[in-house]
Amino acid sequence: MARHAERREFDRLVTSAAVGRGGAVVVAGEAGIGKSTLIDAAVGTLDGFEVLRAAGTEFERDLLYATLHQLCAPVLEHRRALPAVQRRALEGVFGLGAQTSPDPLTVGLAVLGLLHEVAQHKPVCCVVDDAQWIDDASRRALVFVARRVAAERIAVVFAARDVGSVPGLADLPRLPLAGLGDEDARAVLGAATHAELDTEVVDRILAEARGNPLALLEFAHHAEPFGVPGPQRCRATVVDTLEEQFVHRFERLPDTTRSLVVLAAAEPVGDLGLLRRAAKVIGLDATGLTLAENAGLLALGPRLRFRHPLVRSAVYASATPGMRRRVHGALAEATDPEADRDRRAWHRAHAVVDADENVAAELEGSADRARLRGGFAAAATFMERAGQLTPASDRQAGRLLAAAQLRLQAGAPTLARTLVARAERRPMDEKGRAAARLLRARVDYQLSHSPQATARLVDVVAELAPDQARETYLEAFASFMYNDNQPGRLQELGARIRNRKAQQESARPADLLLDALLAQTMLPVERAVPAMRDAATAYHAAAPSSGHWRMNLLCQVVIDLRDDVAMEEISDRQVDVARRQGALASLPQALRYQAISRVSVGRFDDAAASLGEAQAVDEAAGTTPLLGPELVLAGFRGDLDRYRELRELLGRGGRPYEAAGEHYARAVLHNGLGNYEAALEAALAAQHRHQAGSYSIWAVYTELVEAAARAGRGEEAVVAMKHLEALARTNPLPWAVAEWLQAQALLSRGEDCEALHRQAIDHFARTRVRVLHARARLTYGEWLRRANRRVAARDELRAAHDMLSGIGARAFAERAARELRATGEQPSPHGEHPLGRLTPQERLIAGKVAAGATSKEVGVMLFLSPRTIDAHLRNVYRKLGISSRRQLRGMSL
C-alpha cells in the first residue's frame, strides 16, 4: 500500500547482492516510522538468502560485542575456514578460545571473512535494528564490513533513529523514511479499524500522528470520543505521545503482570527460559506475560519481543527504582555465572544501592575480560561502576583511576579527566596520589600535546620508578620531536629530561635510544653520532619484538646516520613483526619507514606499495594518514601534480609534525625539476628550523648543497658543509662519505673537482642507495659537459639517464636527458611500462599476488574481502592482456 519507492530501493540492494555486487544501507527515521516493518516485509520475501539479524538495546550498549554475538552466532562454524589470525580474533571475541586482545580492525576483517565464507554457499543479508543502541565494538566491526562488501554476495542493512549520533553510519547510503502521506495514512487507519470513526476524530488522529504509522495504529485503537489527546498537553513529539500511550496501557495491567513486563524490559535478549527462572526468584509465574501479549505490548515465541523498542524503554522508565533493582537482582540470580559472567555482573550492579565489594569485584573481573579483548570503552564502564560500588574509600579511588586509564586508552581523555578528579576527592596514599598526578598529566598531554603539558608530564614522571620514567621520557620526547612548532621548545624539553633522567648502570636499548634522540637534538653532530650509533647497534641486536613505535624512531636515526644496511633491515623487520603480531596501530608508520627506505634504494614502486598498504590500514581505522613519506616519493619521482595534491591535503598552514618531511620533499622535488632557487628556499627553511633547536631530516643538507651550487649561491651552504663533513668524519660509512665527497665536488672550483666526483660515485656504488648513486653520475656528467668534455659527459649522462628512468625518477631523468641533448646525443626512449596503466591499488594487489600471496592473504593485508581482491585482479588481467596468476608472476613488478 505504502513505501513502494523505499521497497524498490531495498529490493535493488538485495538483488545486486545476490549476484556479487553487495552494498549497505541505513534505513533512517524516527521511532514508529516503520523502519522495522519495511525491513521485515522485504526480508520475508527473500528466497535462498542467509538472513542474520541483531538489534541494539539501551541496556546492552556497554556489553562488549553484544550485537555482534547476536548477528554471527548462527554461522560461527564457518570460522574454521578463516586465516589463523582472524579465527583467533573471532574466538577471542566470542569466548571460544584463549583470552586475547584482538585489534578492532582484525575483528572487523574476521567478521567480513566469516560472512564471505557464508556467502560462498548462499547470499547473506545482515539486518541490524536499532543501530543507535549497538555497543561501540560491534558498531566499529559492522561499519567496517558495510564499507567492504561491494564485491561480495552480502547486503548489510541498518535501521537507526538518529543516524548522525552513530559514528560511521552517516557515511553509508541512507534510505530515509518520512511520515506517510495523507492518502496512505487514511488507508492505514481504514485497515486498522473495524468501526467507522467520525471525520473529526480521523482528522485529529491524522494531525496528531503526522504520518507516523505506529502512532496511527495506536491512536486509532485508543481514540477517545472526541479524538486523541491534543497538542494542548504540551508533548514535544509524536514519540512522546506514543510512549505515554504505552505507559497508559502498561498501567492498566495487574500488578503481577506489570512486574513481569518490567522483568522482560530489563532482559534485552528475550530469553524466555531465563525470564521464567528469574520470575520464580521473585515469586511470579511467567505465564502472566500472556496478558501483556493480549494488551499488544509484546509478543511471545521462541524469544520474547516487545512490540516496539519504545514499549521496552517506556515500561522500564515508568517502573519505580525499587522495582528495577528487584528485577535486575532476579535476573542476576537466574543468569549462569559461568556462561554469562559479564551480563550477570551487570545485572547485579543495577540491583544494589549501597556499596558492595562482592559486586564491585565481579565488575572489576568483567572489566579485565573486556580489556583483554580490546574493549577499553566497555572495560572503563565496568570499572567505573565498580568504583562507585566499592565500600573502601582508598580502593574506590584506585578503581576510579583504573577506569580513567581505560578511558584514556579508549580515546576519551575528557571522560578520563573527570574520573581522575573524582578519584582525587577520595582518600589515597602517597602511591595513589602519585598515580593520579601522572594520569592527570597524561590526560593533559593527550588532549593538547602542548609544550606545557609535555613538560608537566616529564616533571610528574620523575617521581616514579626508573623503568616507567624511561618509557614516558622517550614517548614524550619522541612525540614532541615531530610536533615542535615553537623554536627552542624541543631543546628545553630535552634539558628537562636530562636533568631528571636517572643514570643507569646497564643501559637498555630504550635508554640508548632516548640518549641518541637527546644527543641528536642538543649536541653538535660529532658528539651526537656516538650515541646514535650505540642505539642503532643495541636495537639491531635486540629481539624482533622490541616496541614498534621505538623501532620507527630507530629507523629515522639510522637514516640520518646514512646506514643503508641497517635502514633496510630494520624497516623490513618492523613491518614483518607488526604483521605477524597483528599490531595494526603501529603497522602504518612501519610501512611508511619501509617506503622511505625503498625510495632510497631506488625501489619506487615497492615504496608506493608500502604506502598503499599503510593507507588501507589508516582508512580502515579512520585515522588521518601521515603524508610526509608520500611527499618524499612524489619529490623523487618528480611528480609535481601529485606533490601539489598532497600539499593541498596538508592545508594552508601545513601540519607542524609534517614540516620536516615536507621541507625535505620540496627540496628534492625542485632539485629534480631544476628549480634550484625553490629547492634552496625549502632546504634553508629546514636548516633554520634545525638551528633553532627543532628536528630536521639530516638528508636535507645534501639537497641544500646541490641547490646552492646550481643557484650560484655557494655561500649559503656553509652550515650544510660543516654538517656533512662532521658526519662523514665521525661516521665514515660509504653513504655518509659519498655525500661529503659529492658536496665538495659540487662547490669545488679546483683541480681536484673531478677526483671528488669520481670518489663520490665509487662510494655510492658500495651502498644500496641506487637513486643517489644515479644522481651522483648525473651531477658528474653535468660537470663534464660544462667542462666541454662531451664524450666523457655522454657516458655518465647516458648511464644516469638509464638508471634514473629505470628507477622512475622522472624529473632527474629528464635533467639527464636535457644534458645529453646538449652534448648532441638523443637519450634512448623509455616507453611506459604496461604496469603504468594500473591504478595504485591494482598495482599494489598485483605486486602481492605476483609475490605468491593468495587472495585471502592479500585481503588480510589490505582489509578487503577475497572477492574484492579477485575483482581487482580481473581488472589487472584485462589491462595487462593476461589471464592468470602465473603470467602475472612472470612480469617484472
Low-confidence ranges of the chain (pLDDT < 50): 1, 224-235
CA distance 611 to 481: 23
In angstroms, the first-to-last Cα distance of the chain is 58
In a 3-state reduction of DSSP, which class is residue 391? coil
Predicted local distance difference test score (pLDDT) of residue 183: 77
Distance of CA 230 to CAs 11, 182, 233, Å? 38, 19, 6
Q: How many CB atoms lie within 10 A of CB 642?
A: 16
C-alpha cell at 658: 609534517
CA distance 718 to 705: 9
Q: In what order do the strands lie in the sheet with 124-129?
A: 50-55, 124-129, 154-160, 23-28, 174-176
What are the residues facing 128 on neighbouring strands? 54, 158
The amino acid that residue 129 corresponds to is: D
CA distance 538 to 82: 38
Distance of CA 596 to CAs 122, 231, 568, 701, Å? 44, 67, 9, 17
Predicted local distance difference test score (pLDDT) of residue 463: 66
C-alpha cell at 105: 580492525
The sign of the dihedral angle between the CA atoms of 467, 469, 472, 474 is: negative
What CATH architecture applies to the domain 732-831? Answer: Alpha Horseshoe (1.25)
C-alpha cell at 411: 580515546
Q: 619 and 652 in contact (C-beta within 8 Å)?
A: no
- Fold agreement between 255-467 and 732-831: yes
Q: 438 and 419 in contact (C-beta within 8 Å)?
A: no
CA distance 277 to 735: 76
CA distance 663 to 628: 9
CA distance 213 to 35: 10
Cell 647497534 locates to 537
Give every CB contact of residue 169 below 8 A, 6+ residues apart in sequence.
26, 131, 143, 158, 160, 163
In a 3-state reduction of DSSP, which class is residue 97? coil
Total residues found in the chain within this entry: 893
Give every CB contact of residue 248 below 8 A, 6+ residues apart in sequence.
222
Q: Which CATH number fits domain 255-467: 1.10.150, 1.25.40, 1.10.10, 3.40.720?
A: 1.25.40
| Integer-rounded Cα radius of gyration of the chain | 33
Residue-range domain boundaries for the chain: 4-176, 182-234, 255-467, 732-831, 834-889
Distance of CA 143 to CAs 89, 104, 171, Å? 17, 12, 9
CA distance 693 to 708: 23
Helices 700-710 and 659-673 pack at an angle, to 10 degrees, of 40
CA distance 32 to 502: 65
What are the residues facing 306 on neighbouring strands? 298
Distance of CA 787 to CAs 674, 757, 791, 805, Å? 19, 13, 11, 25
Cell 627506505 locates to 597
Q: How many CB atoms lie within 10 A of CB 452?
A: 11
The amino acid that residue 797 corresponds to is: L
Q: 499 and 487 in contact (C-beta within 8 Å)?
A: no
785-823 residues labelled b (16+ CB within 10 A) or e (exposed):
beeeeeeebbebbbbbbbbbbebbbbbbbbbbbebbeeb
The sign of the dihedral angle between the CA atoms of 271, 277, 283, 286 is: positive
The amino acid that residue 163 corresponds to is: V
C-alpha cell at 145: 564490513
The amino acid that residue 81 corresponds to is: A
| Backbone angles phi and psi of 227, in degrees to 5 | 100, 180
* Strand 174-176 versus strand 298-299 pairing type: unpaired
The amino acid that residue 291 corresponds to is: L
| Nearest by Cα to 660 from 532, 518, 490 | 490
Q: Which CATH number fits domain 4-176: 3.40.50.300, 3.90.1300.10, 1.10.150.120, 3.30.1360.120?
A: 3.40.50.300
CA distance 359 to 379: 15
Q: How many CB atoms lie within 10 A of CB 323?
A: 17
| Backbone angles phi and psi of 656, in degrees to 5 | -55, -40
Q: How many CB atoms lie within 10 A of CB 173?
A: 11
What are the residues facing 23 on neighbouring strands? 155
Q: 613 and 594 in contact (C-beta within 8 Å)?
A: no
In a 3-state reduction of DSSP, which class is residue 174? strand
| Backbone angles phi and psi of 52, in degrees to 5 | -115, 130
Dihedral through CA 524, CA 629, CA 641, CA 876, nearest 10?
A: 160
| Nearest by Cα to 263 from 300, 302, 272, 291 | 272
| DSSP, res 52 | E
Cell 581522575 locates to 420
**Which spans in 734-854 are helix H?**
734-747, 753-765, 770-786, 790-807, 810-822, 840-850
Q: Does domain 834-889 sit in CATH 1.10.10.60?
A: no
What are the residues facing 54 on neighbouring strands? 128
Three-state SS across 698-712? CCHHHHHHHHHHHCC
Give every CB contact of residue 566 below 8 A, 6+ residues apart in sequence.
536, 540, 558
Q: 687 and 651 in contact (C-beta within 8 Å)?
A: no
Q: How many CA atoms, within 13 angstroms, populate the side-chain half-sphere of residue 491?
A: 13
* Strand 305-306 versus strand 174-176 pairing type: unpaired
What is the model's pTM?
A: 0.71
Q: How distant is the alpha carbon of residue 631 from its chain centre? A: 21
Q: 192 and 216 in contact (C-beta within 8 Å)?
A: yes
Q: How many CB atoms lie within 10 A of CB 557?
A: 22
